[in-house]
Amino acid sequence: MMEKNKDLPTPHPFIANSAEASFNEMLKVANVTDIDELFEQIPKDHVFKGDWNFDPQIPSEAGLYKHLTRILRKNSSAEENLNFLGAGCWQHYVPAICDEMVTRTEFLTPVWGTPSSDHGRNQVWFEFQSQIGELVGMEFVGLPLYSFGTAGGHAIRMAARINKRSKVLVQSSIDPERLAVFKTYCGYPELDGYLEIVMVDTDAITGRINLDDLKAKISRDVSSLYFDNPNYLGVIESEAKEIAKIAHDAGAEVIIGVDPISLGVLPSPSEYGADIVVGTTQPLGVHMNAGGGVGGFIATRDDEKYAHEYPTLQVSLTGTSEPGEMAFGLTLFEQSSYGSREHGKDWTGNSVYLWTVANATYMSLLGPNGFAEIGKTILQRSHYAAKKIAEIPGISVTWPSGFFKEFVVNFDGTKKKVSQINKSLLSKKIFGGKDLSRDFPHLGQSALYCVTEIHTLEDLDSLVSALKEVTK
């Protein structure tokens, strides 16, 4: 008897059949006496026999909660401090019902069902795609991608498949983090499908794409031009229409990256020449999550030329056997990696689909007036901060107008390094802007400051007085 029950499990709250009665019933029906019989396919010398020396089990929820929170309370969050970091992940207010929806067990825990049993979730996906389409002014939108950078990487590859060209122009002010992802997606010269990235200069005076440099670098072998608007350094590419025209005249595709929270006040990129729009979804109701809140999207005109190059899955509105009833189904599944393995369009898999629930909820909450309002608040608050910071002796704002949400602050006149200043600010419970001195050395000791709707007048004035103090 002892021999037979050597593998009897210990009851655990996550495992119903860890109860002795259930376990024994299964053994009996499956006709198993020793659990090792079930692993007969595995050669003995493949099986690990050593000591695990594993961290001890914490089976109680109370114990687990205490263990985890004791560790995680060593963090000091952007809520406890005054945060001015943006740079690819932004602190916006997340409405409570966005959190309610993404933690609903129905949305949180499932994988795939049938079109009928998944109907509610599929509708959320469709509403996500539709509302993104409204923001960016495009009719074809896929399900989300892992991030802004991966969306851009895939978009660059879509363009190269469309026009069979192999050079990509990218604005030099781009987020280095995002550029690193692009480089990964563009491959190696030794292998098939390599795309060469060529940087287009940023005008030192304006902070925008240098049109002369663009004209010098554009050619008939350029597959696509990629730029963000506003760009990473916060500056609005106000000559976007002309930039797109220069690229189009050479037969290149124009890919524009956007932060959708800007689109209540800025025009949709489709209005100034975008062929493919990509962007982030994180500002739309998703917490920063230490970078784990990021997500991306791809949108284009509803044109087969583009639709047939999407790597993503996407839901389409369709009908059912019942006249007039709405349903949703996957369109162009066969071109995905699930449908065609290595012959598919790049690859897809689990992505950040849960965030579409937060995004759709967020966009529905804001509506046209909410987007316009939040855009205006961000414009005014960020410009106020920039103006007041620029009044501090030794500190300047590199491009003091024509920006949205983020702006570059230069500390050269203080003779201090950004890293020192940020350490001093931290002691005052302020997270200073992202240090740009390593990635953009020509900008000197500069930092990228991010101001959103969450920053009050009092917050901004506190920042200004803290900066005065730490740069004295």
Partner 1 sequence: MIKSKIRKYHAPVWDEPLVMQMGQSGRRGSIAPKTESKIADTVGNALDLLPAGMKRANPLNLPELSEFEVQRHYLHLSQQTLGMMGISLFGTCTMKYNPRVNERIVYQPFVAEMHPHQDPETMQGILEVVNRFDHLLRKLSGLDKFVFQAGGGADAAYTQACMTRAYHASRGELEQRNEIITTAQAHPCNPATAAAAGFKIITLPLEDDGFPSVEALKAVVSNRTAALMVNNPDDIGIYNPHIKEWVKIVHDAGGLCFYDHANFNGVMTRIRAADIGFDACMYMLHKTFGGPKGGGGPAVGAYGCNEKLIPFLAGPTVETSADGSFYLKEGGENSVGRIREFLGNIPTVIRAYSWTRSMGIEGLRDAANISVLANNYMEKRLLEIPGITKGMPDVKGRRLEMTRYSLGELTADTGVSCLDVQNRMTDYGVDAYWLSHEPWFIPEPFTPEAGELWSVEDIDYWIDVLETVCNEARTNPELVKTSPHNQVVHKQNSTNLSDPAKWATTWRAYKRKYGVTN
Instruction: Name which of 353, 355, 333, 354 is nearest 344 in CA terms.
Output: 333
Cβ contact 119:107 at 8 Å: no
Q: Which stretch binds partner 1 (CB under 8 A): 164-172, 197-205, 213-221, 237-245?
A: 237-245
Q: Which residues contact 77 (CB under 8 A, 6 or more apart)?
A: none
- 124 vs 134, 310, 335, 381, 412, CA distance in Å? 15, 20, 23, 33, 49
204 binds partner 1 (CB under 8 A): no
Site string for partner 1, 253-282 (x = CB under 8 A): ----------xxxxxx--x-----------
Site string for partner 1, 361-380 (x = CB under 8 A): x-xxxxxxxxxxxxxxx-xx
236 binds partner 1 (CB under 8 A): yes
Torsion sign over Cα 126, 241, 295, 187: positive
Cβ contact 314:330 at 8 Å: yes
Cβ contact 278:224 at 8 Å: no
Task: Show contacts with partner 1 in window 136-175 (CB under 8 A).
Answer: 138-143, 146-150, 157
427 binds partner 1 (CB under 8 A): no
Q: Shortest distance, CB of residue 238 to partner 1, whole angstroms?
A: 4
4 binds partner 1 (CB under 8 A): no
Residue 124 to residue 102: CA distance in whole angstroms: 11
Of 82, 131, 278, 470, the one binding partner 1 by CB under 8 A: 131
67 binds partner 1 (CB under 8 A): yes
DSSP 245-312: HHHHHTT-EEEEEE-GGGTTTSPPGGGGT-SEEEEE-TTTT---GGGTT--EEEEE-S-HHHHTT--S
205 binds partner 1 (CB under 8 A): no
117 binds partner 1 (CB under 8 A): yes
Q: What are the structure tokens assigned to 100, written together?
A: 């309610």
Task: Show contacts with partner 1 in window 208-227 (CB under 8 A).
Answer: none
Q: Shortest distance, CB of residue 65 to partner 1, whole angstroms?
A: 6
Of 204, 423, 469, 472, the one binding partner 1 by CB under 8 A: 423
Q: Which is nearer to partner 1, 251 or 462 (CB)?
A: 462
Q: Which is nearer to partner 1, 7 or 219 (CB)?
A: 7
Question: What residues pair up with 331 in beta bridges, in sequence order?
Answer: 314
Q: Which is nearer to partner 1, 214 or 266 (CB)?
A: 266
Q: Which stretch binds partner 1 (CB under 8 A): 84-92, 211-219, 250-258, 405-413?
A: 84-92
Q: Shortest distance, CB of residue 396 to partner 1, whole angstroms?
A: 17
